[in-house]
Structure 1
Amino acid sequence: MSSILIRSIQLLLSISILVVVHELGHFIIAQVFKVRVERFFLFFDPWFSIFKKKIGHTIYGLGWLPLGGYVKISGMMMDNKNILSKNKNWEFRSKSPIKRLLIISGGIIFNILLSILIFTFLLFKYGETYLPTKNVKYGIEVDSIGEKIGLRNGDKILFINDKYIPYFNEIPKEILLGNSITIDRMGHIIKLPLDDKKKKFIFDRKELNFFIKPRVPPIINYMIKNSKAEKYGLKNNDEILAINSEFVLFSDQLKDLLSKYKNENILISINRNGKLIQKEIFLDSKGILGIYLKNFMDLDQIFLFEKKKYSFLESFPHGTKKAYDVLKNQIFFLKNVFHIETKAYKQIGSFFSIAKEFPSKWNWGIFWTLTGTLSIWLAFLNLFPIPSLDGGYILFIMIEMITRKKINEEIIERSTVYGFVIISLIMMSIIIWDIFKVFIS
């Protein structure tokens, strides 16, 4: 099964879970207040549906357009059936403002709860593994983005915004939030300023990968089949010590040396279980050995990780905090989208970009982490006071509660139509932009 198909299946399953839970929130609270739900659909069904069945007063179905889903609540919108009828006690419009507010908020509430439950379960099952910043003993390795903001291989990060960051995984986020980085560069303490011009290098890239990571020794994790490394007898777990007469202490140095000796024979010295072994290898014009080196997560014998396990009860408050932290990071990114200088808008994407975040091999841990992240984000986006979103209805109901005057249903319906058109245009623009990024750029 191709990686594209696996990613697509994961995305479709994740979206299906989010949509069903969201609409279930509206449905359950409507049922609690004895409001009829006429339709409950996963995905949209313009012109026809894949499946539908009526049970009680509700038609349950599966649409063919996987861009969301919906519930149709009786008396929520005007139509030919109820435009001349009096309010009936099972209609949405017959209920008090607070009940209508809860029904509309049901989807948002359920998405928040889903996110909290997912992160709670993940923490209970897997716990958390952290690398304390103090244990990043060799400093950092940076890519071209890290270099552009002023960092160098071997730098040790001391403070961000004059604050010590206890865990390494928090450092990239803190750099995006911060105004300065204090580093130890070979014994010299340097304070690097951070501004929007520098941060644009982080946002202005095709993939949101890490631009810094702990510096590690060059130890082979595995080799590409039929590669030069395999052909010349290198093995997994070999530690590369030198190329010709030049010592290699870290992975970034190995990359530089292999680039230096393209189209040449090299003498590669390795440590294999305490024995010194040397191999003569001819490098091609690309300077590629065909090996993947271990990263810091593979080297727990070198880096001392902290592992936290949570009991069932402990996992709930930590799962709630995790959902909150994810939302806070997403809001920070959204704020940067409107700072044109950062170029954060380039990271906006549709389902194409979301699909790329799922792994090419099925991994339930990553799947549920991304689903939990998308769930809290969906809840937040639905709070926007735009007609046709839940937040638009919430705004109308709150105005009614404050003024104690019911807003004309025709105004609500027209606003909803305009809101739907605006959101559709925005979605189409994002999809076109994403297609350009993924398939053209």
Structure 2
Amino acid sequence: MTSSFIRSIQLLLSISILIVVHEFGHFILAKTFKVRVERFFLFFDPWFSIFKKKIGNTIYGIGWIPLGGYVKISGMMMNEERNSDKKNSWDFCSKSAIKRLLIVSGGIISNIILSIILFSLLLFQYGEINLPTKNVKYGIEVDSLGEKIGLKNGDNILLINGRYIHYFNDIPRAIILGNSITINRMGKTMKLLLNNDKKRILFDQKEFKFSIRPRIPPIIKYVIKGSSADKSGFKQDDEILAINSEFILFFDQLKESLSKYKKNQSLLISINRDGRIIQKKIFLDKNGILGFYLKDFIDMDEIFLFDQKKYSIMESFSYGVQRTWNVLNHHISFMKNMFHLETKAYKHLGSIFSMAKEFPNQWNLDVFLTLTASLSIWLAFLNLLPIPSLDGGYILFLIIEIITRRKIKEKIFERFTIIGFITISLMMMMVIIWDIFKVFFS
């Protein structure tokens, strides 16, 4: 199976779970308040459905358009004044405004609960391993994008937006969404402003590749058998100190130094092996490769002290709520950047095609659950927006009704719903077209 197919299957499964959970939220609250549910469908079913079966008063089924799902609640669109003689006790419109508000909010509530449960389960099962920012003793290593926004190898990040970031893995995201970075560069404190021009550097690219890593010494993790390094006698845990008398302290310096030499050229490399300084002669092969892999910072427990946490069931739930809130905040902050056209963050706006690329090309349950939890809280937020035809639009009308104690006329509600539906449909079409354009023409 191709990686694209595997990603698509994971996305379809994730979306199906989110839809079922969302619609089940409406369904269970409708049943709780004794409101009849006529249909419960995964995916849309115009003209025909893949499967359907009637159980009690409800038809359960699967449609053929995988862009959503729905529950049809009896009397939800009924005009109370015009059809009062047809109103039944099981109709939606016969219930109080508070009960109707809860039923309409059921999908949003369910998606929030799902996100919290999934994050809590992951935290309970695996705990967390994080690198505290204070333990990044050699500063940072940045890519070309980091250099363009003003960062340099060896900088120590002190604050972002005036706030200390406790864990290093949160720093890249904080920079992307932030407005300023306070750094220590060779003993001097500096403040870098992230204006729209610098944000454009980060966002104005086909694929988002901005990364920051802890700066690390070049220590060999693995020597490839039969390679030039193997033949020259290099071993695991050897630390590279110099190349042709040029001192090397960090991995980024090693990369820069090697880029100066030609392929098939002889090099004299000095190494530290168990406290002894040894020199080895080695050749760059025709591909410019020495023949060993270097350790990443996660392999250097003796240098970087990680925080490892295990959570009880109650603790995992508390931190699951916090993780859900943090993920939602990140989504909202990124969306705010999209409204600043100068940043070109809109280039990373995507539809289901972009979402599919977030899933790994091989099945990984942990990643699948993490992405599903993230999508679930984002779906809850989008449905909470006060746009007619979304749950949030209906919630807005019901809140107005509760405050004014007057029911909004159905004609007004229907007109706003139609306008909202057309608006959302056009927006979805534009996003899908934009996504296709990015994939095939960018």
Q: Secondary structure at the match of 1:184?
A: strand
1:246 paired residue number: 246
Distance 2:64 2:228 in 1: 49
1:69 paired residue number: 69
Question: Offset at 1:136?
Answer: 0.6
Distance 2:226 2:9 in 1: 31
Distance 1:332 1:194 in 2: 14
1:141 paired residue number: 141
2:188 paired residue number: 188
Distance 1:73 1:372 in 2: 27
Q: Secondary structure at the match of 1:13?
A: helix
Question: Offset at 1:375?
Answer: 0.7
Say which is worse superposed, 425-434 or 288-297, in terms of deviation. Answer: 288-297
**Cα distance per residue 1:48-71 (max 9 Å; x no partner):** 221111111111111222111111
Distance 1:360 1:251 in 2: 29
Equivalent residues of 2:233, 2:280 under 8 A apart: no
2:282 paired residue number: 280
2:303 paired residue number: 302
Please list every run of 5 or more consecutive structure 1 residues that lacks an aligned counterpart in the other structure: none
1:157 paired residue number: 157
Equivalent residues of 2:44, 2:64 under 8 A apart: yes
- 1:96/1:397 CA distance change after superposition, 3 Å: same
- 1:158/1:403 CA distance change after superposition, 3 Å: closer
In the alignment, is residue 405 of structure 1 matched against residue 409 of structure 2? no
Equivalent residues of 1:40, 1:59 under 8 A apart: yes
Q: Secondary structure at the match of 1:20?
A: helix
Question: Offset at 1:217?
Answer: 2.5
- 1:26/1:277 CA distance change after superposition, 3 Å: farther
Equivalent residues of 1:261, 1:283 under 8 A apart: no
- 1:342/1:283 CA distance change after superposition, 3 Å: same
Equivalent residues of 1:45, 1:62 under 8 A apart: yes
Question: Offset at 1:292?
Answer: 5.5
Aligned residue-pair number = 438
Question: Offset at 1:78?
Answer: 5.2
Equivalent residues of 1:266, 1:283 under 8 A apart: no
- 1:188/1:66 CA distance change after superposition, 3 Å: same
Question: Offset at 1:428?
Answer: 1.2
In the alignment, is residue 373 of structure 1 matched against residue 380 of structure 2? no
Question: Offset at 1:207?
Answer: 3.3
Equivalent residues of 1:240, 1:268 under 8 A apart: no
**Aligned pairs for 1:101-112 within 5 A:** 101-112=101-112
1:199 paired residue number: 199
Distance 1:314 1:410 in 2: 49
Equivalent residues of 2:145, 2:210 under 8 A apart: no
Please list every run of 5 or more consecutive structure 2 residues that lacks an aligned counterpart in the other structure: none
Question: Offset at 1:322?
Answer: 1.1
Equivalent residues of 2:220, 2:235 under 8 A apart: yes
Distance 2:258 2:119 in 1: 43
TM-score of the superposed pair, with normalisation by structure 2: 0.90
Question: Offset at 1:232?
Answer: 8.6
TM-score of the superposed pair, with normalisation by structure 1: 0.90
Distance 1:406 1:226 in 2: 80
2:15 paired residue number: 15
Question: Offset at 1:310?
Answer: 1.1
**Cα distance per residue 1:168-200 (max 9 Å; x no partner):** 122223334544322222233322223222222
